[in-house]
A and B are shown apart, each in its own frame.
Chain A
């Protein structure tokens, strides 16, 4: 049996050698299809990995409580969201006393169009009002100076810790600690600088000002009365669960918040609970579309490649009619002939597949060198490329092979 298969493979190699150019052109469809898929899959995988790392880096296993959903999925009634009760620092306090919760902090923010220091200016700075526990919830570290304290929060002190982007761009040549910034007519003293955090989903995490929420309320006494402002500009609450308690936290927080909002059991939640898992899922939903498009393109190119193989196999069967007749005359059964041609088409497809895999890896590697995209290759991709090309070889090889096997030996022998 093994002997038999080896025999047929060596026959296929022989045919391949005799018709080098033709075989290569035939395999080209598969080569292009497989290499595109491998290249793009490894780039997507690379992207997935770096996003997963980024999501991890915000702080592991955080749970977010907010008035509005993180992402508006489909048509949602903004009016309804705006009319929900606001979340408050008191809610954060109550949540932090739940048994499964380690820390819960209020978190409110606005974007500043401009922030100036002397002749330097930066845009789109996020100003964030929260408590002294912000850093430990978000895995942030103070690189120079100090973080603000509980005392700073209770006494509404006008102090802030700044992100590394702000420090680098407003204070390129000096230490920012001790300097004062001006926000909407309020002077804020810089007491600390955060260590660089990188970007999350393309947004810099370092272009921000972190201040006590009590002081934030002084800068922004009201957040505006438009539906949009009411819906999206309030407090949210960042919750860090105790180890391994993410599931329990969501249940406990939901129960607590429904009680605090006095929701009857038949009413839906008037707040949104999100986890990092959900963030990951949102991201995956976005990439899935791209993924499906690629699979579709790949499928088309593999079908085209497969038709190429079928075509050339039919030519091959016609060319070798006499050979088939001779083989049958000396004792080859239909089964023998069928498997010989099937092995040949699978071999052809696999040669294409292997070249395609190598080419795809090369392509991914080249792209990751010349662009910021990172490629990540997994074994399953190689396996997938291999499996797909084998499947194409079988599927498109079966018809020509059956045609060869079904030839009448007498007619085949007479064929010129």
Chain B
């Protein structure tokens, strides 16, 4: 282990098979991957290559059919539902392609959502969420709802939500997929800055321009790692 760069996630020979109707789809066929503090990883691959499945397993949204996945040396497959929820809450932040904000909540309430499940008091929740929104340039949008904001603004709210609980890894699944190229590159600058500040980011994309921001590119093909 390199000093100061401890391993956070370790995936060993991960397989994932799921059923689409009566057809078994082998999304992952033995992926081994390690993520360390302050990594900036892009996972690339064509659609159907299993990159989304991989990031879902890494972020504890899904579980592997075979293989071992360790979170700071703890085996995730032994986790209960509540522990998995806890891991998603405390360990990871997640940024989705389609923003995935709750339409009825204001920006600040959307950002505060992970803190609700972490059991943080309302006053602290609001304070922390407002701070992050300000930092990300949305200080004047705190009380706006998603439908009152542009796509770029929504995605920034989503990033703020991913950051609010000071997670160990931030996962992003095609974070620029729904944005025009200008807004997309603004979002990528935010990710770059986050990593400079010492955070760890793992991103799924099929856009090589986006992937080039990362320090390490993992390319996936047919459920296997094709090159690093």
Tell me the total A-B contact number using a CB cutoff of 8 A: 66
Task: Decide yes or no whether B82 CB sits under 8 A from chain A.
Answer: yes
- CB contact between A334 and one of B81, B113, B118 (< 8 Å): that residue: B81
A124: chain B residues within 8 A (beta carbon): none
The distance in angstroms between the C-alpha atoms of A335 and B82, with both chains bound, is 8
Contact with B along A333-346 (1 / 0, CB 8 A): 11110000000000
A413: chain B residues within 8 A (beta carbon): 61, 96, 100
Task: Decide yes or no whether B56 CB sits under 8 A from chain A.
Answer: yes
Q: What is the interface size of chain A, counting residues whose CB is below 8 A from a CB of the partner?
A: 23
Contact with A along B69-107 (1 / 0, CB 8 A): 000000000000110111011100010100011101000
B96, closest chain A residue (CB): A413
Task: Decide yes or no whether A409 CB sits under 8 A from chain B.
Answer: yes
Task: Decide yes or no whether B62 CB sits under 8 A from chain A.
Answer: yes
A335: chain B residues within 8 A (beta carbon): 81-82
Within 8 A of B (CB), among A284-322: 322
**Is the beta-carbon distance between B102 and A326 smaller than 8 angstroms?**
yes
B121, closest chain A residue (CB): A3
Q: What does DSSP make chain A's interface, helix, strand, loop or mixed?
A: helix
- CB contact between B89 and one of A4, A325, A330, A409 (< 8 Å): that residue: A330
Residue among A18, A408, A409 with most chain B CB within 10 A: A409
Task: Decide yes or no whether A282 CB sits under 8 A from chain B.
Answer: no
B64: chain A residues within 8 A (beta carbon): none
Task: Decide yes or no whether B122 CB sits under 8 A from chain A.
Answer: yes
B56, closest chain A residue (CB): A410
A7: chain B residues within 8 A (beta carbon): 116
In the complex, how many angstroms separate the beta carbon of B79 from the nearest chain A beta carbon? 11
Task: Decide yes or no whether B45 CB sits under 8 A from chain A.
Answer: no
Task: Decide yes or no whether A182 CB sits under 8 A from chain B.
Answer: no
**Is the beta-carbon distance between A332 and B56 smaller than 8 angstroms?**
no
Task: Decide yes or no whether B161 CB sits under 8 A from chain A.
Answer: yes
Task: Decide yes or no whether A372 CB sits under 8 A from chain B.
Answer: no
Task: Decide yes or no whether B114 CB sits under 8 A from chain A.
Answer: yes
Task: Decide yes or no whether A331 CB sits under 8 A from chain B.
Answer: yes
The 5 closest A-B pairs by CB, nearest first: A331-B89, A333-B85, A331-B117, A330-B114, A333-B82
- Can you list 8 pairs linking A and B with CB atoms under 8 Å apart? A3-B119, A325-B100, A326-B100, A327-B113, A328-B85, A330-B117, A331-B118, A410-B56
Interface, chain A (partner B; CB < 8 A): 3-4, 7, 14, 18, 322-323, 325-336, 408-410, 413
Sample of 5 further A-B pairs with CB below 8 A, known A326-B101, A327-B113, A328-B88: A4-B119, A328-B85, A329-B88, A331-B89, A334-B82
